[in-house]
């Protein structure tokens, strides 16, 4: 998915819980599912918060339209391909630390510019791998602190991130930028599930090894616990025995017929 391209600065660290260090700079697990699981989020400004001021909100885009992101279900040991499109503008007060990419494959995300991210200079669509984005361009983040995953969201842009989650459980996701109400911007949507925070439930997905084992088990169950190879050998042996028995019966019948004919001739 990613292409060779320049990157922005490395940033100065990330203010997230360090419990997820094993998730950083990920490599594909040996028992992973090779088919990517796709998750698409839209970050919009919604006036439903109150009648006077819009608040930012992450929503899950799917076949049933936009759904709340208060609880997102993801499979473990599977490549997650997360696409986030922002319809917002950069958030005042965002820092370079919040814009550092962590917990993704290769430690990068692929950023595709929209119509407002770079102001009047963004006349053409471009994309590149980045390891971080400047705070001045940052609108939000999609962060799972316990897993060490931080994906910066640039105002007006689309970001694509690949990552694995190699443990099951329920984890909080949140936005690090101060994009809500109050003097610090840490109220309102920032602390309300389904807006700029929520939960990620990671469940055990079938792996390639499990799928193969399941197929073999199903085949064995269909034959009463005997493998297909054994069934084939036994079946062939039964056919052969039947054929030989048939020959014996025919031979015996022919011998008796010939004997009767000889006796009749002699008399």
CATH of the domain at 185: 2.60.40.420
Q: How many CA atoms lie within 13 A of 85 on its CB side?
A: 9
Most confident of 10-19, 194-203, 238-247: 194-203
Instruction: Select the more confidently predicted residue: 100 or 205.
Output: 100
Q: Which residues contact 196 (CB under 8 A, 6 or more apart)?
A: 55, 56, 57, 58, 140, 174, 175, 179, 180, 189, 190
Is there a single domain that holds both residue 259 and residue 140? Answer: no
pLDDT at 203: 96
Where is the domain boundary, 178, 206, 234?
Answer: 206
C-alpha to C-alpha distance for 242 and 52, rounded to whole angstroms: 89
| Structural domain includes residue 213 | no
pLDDT, tens only, 174-207? 999 988 888 888 888 889 999 999 999 999 977 6
Average pLDDT over the chain, rounded to an integer: 75
Is there a single domain that holds both residue 168 and residue 246? Answer: no
Determine if the pTM surpasses 0.75.
no
Is there a single domain that holds both residue 190 and residue 231? Answer: no
CA proximity to 164, closest of 69, 45, 79, 88: 79
Q: Which domain holds residue 239?
A: 223-266
Q: How many helices (H) and strands (E) does the chain have?
A: 2, 12
Most confident of 27-31, 45-49, 101-105: 101-105
Counted residue by residue, the chain has a size of 267
Is there a single domain that holds both residue 228 and residue 181? Answer: no
Is there a single domain that holds both residue 182 and residue 232? Answer: no
Is there a single domain that holds both residue 239 and residue 144? Answer: no
Is there a single domain that holds both residue 189 and residue 249? Answer: no
| Structural domain includes residue 1 | no
138 band by pLDDT with thresholds 50, 70 and 90: very high
Is there a single domain that holds both residue 187 and residue 96? Answer: yes
**Total number of domains in the chain:** 2
Q: What is the CA radius of gyration of the chain?
A: 33
- Find where tokens 């109150």 sit: 50
| Structural domain includes residue 164 | yes
């Amino acid at each position: 998915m990613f292409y060779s391209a320049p990157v922005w600065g490395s940033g100065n660290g990330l203010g997230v819980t360090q419990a997820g260090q094993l998730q950083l700079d990920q490599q594909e697990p040996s028992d992973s599912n090779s088919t990517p699981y796709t998750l698409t989020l839209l970050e919009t400004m919604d006036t439903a918060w109150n009648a006077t001021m819009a608040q930012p909100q992450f929503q899950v885009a799917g076949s049933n339209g936009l759904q709340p992101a208060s609880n997102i279900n993801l499979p473990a040991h599977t490549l997650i391909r997360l696409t986030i499109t922002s319809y917002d503008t950069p958030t005042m007060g965002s820092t370079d630390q919040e814009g550092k990419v962590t917990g993704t494959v290769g430690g990068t995300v692929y950023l595709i510019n929209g119509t407002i991210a770079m102001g009047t200079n963004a006349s053409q669509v471009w994309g590149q791998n980045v390891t971080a984005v400047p705070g001045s361009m940052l609108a939000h983040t999609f962060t799972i602190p316990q897993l060490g995953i931080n994906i910066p969201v640039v105002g007006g842009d689309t970001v694509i991130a690949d990552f694995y989650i190699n443990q099951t459980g329920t984890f909080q996701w949140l936005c690090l930028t101060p994009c809500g109400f109050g003097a610090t911007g840490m109220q309102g949507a920032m602390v309300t599930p389904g807006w700029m925070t929520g939960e990620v439930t990671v469940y055990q997905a079938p792996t390639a090894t499990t799928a193969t084992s399941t197929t073999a088990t199903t085949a064995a169950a269909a034959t009463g616990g005997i493998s297909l190879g054994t069934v084939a050998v036994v079946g062939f042996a039964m056919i052969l025995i039947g054929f030989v028995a048939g020959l014996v019966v025919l031979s015996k019948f022919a011998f008796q017929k010939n004997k009767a004919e000889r006796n009749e001739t002699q008399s």
